[in-house]
Structure 1
Amino acid sequence: MKKLAYYFSICFIAVQISSCKTEAKKEVTKDTEAPKTEVKTAPYSLNNADNSINWTAYKTTDKAPVKGQFKKVNITSGGEGNSVKEAVNNAEFSVPVSSIFTKDTSRDFKIKKFFFGVMDKTQLLSGKLVLENDSIGYADLTMNGVTKKLPFNYTITGKIFNMTGVMKISDWNAEKALSSLNEACKDLHKGADGVSKTWDEVAINITSTFK
């Protein structure tokens, strides 16, 4: 009987020691957990802004405007800061050609197929915005496998950034694409003089409204 009591005493002590070790391990694990860090967003972010990319192309010898926009823009680098200017300066972006919108599905199709579709590697337009001073800047714009500077003027009013510029299509070696589009829209681009013309320039207007 004494032996049995001794045996149970040993077992009880062993269980208690094991339990203490387990608790100690749990406490060590808890103490060594890495503290969680909060991800902070800058006061001004292009990703959170309402970005509107509008353009105006021209047809006929009378230079009749054709307006459109890109419905989507992706900020690929930068785009954040403590001010509007800081957020825009050095921001890198890409614009899917598939997001083009002119309120005319037939025209959208032709621009995608006969203009951008003729170019080299132009599923996306991409670039970087550089603000040189308080009113002018440029975009290092890549299109048709060519990167060129697109100068622009800009204003900042409160939380609204607006830029305007004129893009010369031939600067991106895209004459072939322009001719292709003009041929596809030959009759639609004829004016009163009967001449079909698609102009080599496109006016760009971009507005970012920060929240």
Structure 2
Amino acid sequence: MYLYTVIYITRKIFNRRKYTLMKKLRYSLVLCLALISMTACKKEVKKETTTPTEEVKKQAPFSLQNAKNEIKWVAYKTTDKVPVKGQFKKVNITAGGEGNTAKEAINNAAFAIPVSSIFTADSGRDFKIKKFFFGVMDNTNLLSGKLVIETDSTGYSDITMNGVTKKLPFTYTLNDKNFQLKGTMKLAAWKAESALDSLNKVCHDLHKGADGVSKTWDEVAIEINTQF
């Protein structure tokens, strides 16, 4: 009887421990599954946040904005027509200017040139041109225009200066990725006589030639070089 009681009590203790152990194992298994599920969700959310939502705009093969652009000009002084060379160091492409070919990128490209970017390698001359030439014009902080290709060697640009928009005819060459344009501005077409007189007055002695006559010409040669 005593032995039976001991065996009975031992079995009950064993079954209770077994039940407790199984319960703990089930709890641990549920906890592990929950942690695995949370980790997987976090990784999935992180992956979604790093996925690009916008397509990158495809860049055209030829772009004026990304090309190397040189805008040079030559003005003239004295009766002997001594050249005064300069350039504009900055040009902004405001519309168009891209294409599958160089000609396509150039044709109908609109631009704006800040007159403040003028450069002649003489700071005193630069100041006078800005203040006493462009500075007396009407609304001429920028020289704006559009390039139009007409034939394989000619075209024109609608230039706005001094509140006037006029066509500037030009010739050009296009060799592979190199574009060169040449034209001549007659300043009277843009009603710039007063600006020219203003500049000649402040540069009177500097624009005198051997004959003692001070002269600033109404003619400015333009050259644009673009390398794509």
SS in structure 1 of the partner of residue 220 of structure 2? strand
The equivalent residue for 1:179 is 197
The equivalent residue for 1:108 is 126
Structure number with higher helix proportion? 2
SS in structure 1 of the partner of residue 65 of structure 2? helix
The equivalent residue for 2:214 is 196
- Counterpart of 2:201, as a letter, is E
- Counterpart of 1:156, as a letter, is L
- Counterpart of 2:69, as a letter, is N
- The structural deviation recorded for 1:36 is 2.4
1:145 aligned onto 2:163: yes
CA distance in 2, matches of 1:189, 1:36: 59
Superposed CA deviations along residues 49-104 of structure 1, whole A, max 9, x for unmatched, are 00000000000001000000000000000000011100000000000000000000
SS in structure 2 of the partner of residue 202 of structure 1? strand
CA distance in 2, matches of 1:120, 1:108: 19
1:156 aligned onto 2:197: no
Alignment map for 1:125-140 (pairs within 5 Å): 125-140=143-158
- The structural deviation recorded for 1:133 is 1.0
CA distance in 2, matches of 1:116, 1:52: 20
Instruction: Specify which structure has the bigger relative contact order, considering alpha-carbon pairs within 8 angstroms and separated by 6 or more residues.
Output: 1
Normalising by structure 2, we get a TM-score of 0.79
Aligned residues: 210
Alignment map for 1:91-106 (pairs within 5 Å): 91-106=109-124
The equivalent residue for 1:14 is none
Pick one of 184, 187, 192 that aligns with 1:166: 184
Superposed CA deviations along residues 24-53 of structure 1, whole A, max 9, x for unmatched, are 9xx89x98x984211111000001100000
What is the alpha-carbon root mean square deviation over aligned residues?
2.7
* Bigger-Rg structure (1/2): 2
CA distance in 2, matches of 1:131, 1:201: 23
Superposed CA deviations along residues 157-185 of structure 1, whole A, max 9, x for unmatched, are 11000000000001001100000000010
Normalising by structure 1, we get a TM-score of 0.85
- Counterpart of 1:173, as a letter, is K
- Counterpart of 2:100, as a letter, is N
**Which aligned segments of 4 or more residues in structure 1 are displaced greater than 3 angstroms?**
none
The equivalent residue for 1:88 is 106
Pick one of 83, 102, 106 that aligns with 1:65: 83
SS in structure 1 of the partner of residue 58 of structure 2? coil
Where structure 2 has 5 or more consecutive residues not aligned to the other structure, the ranges are 1-36
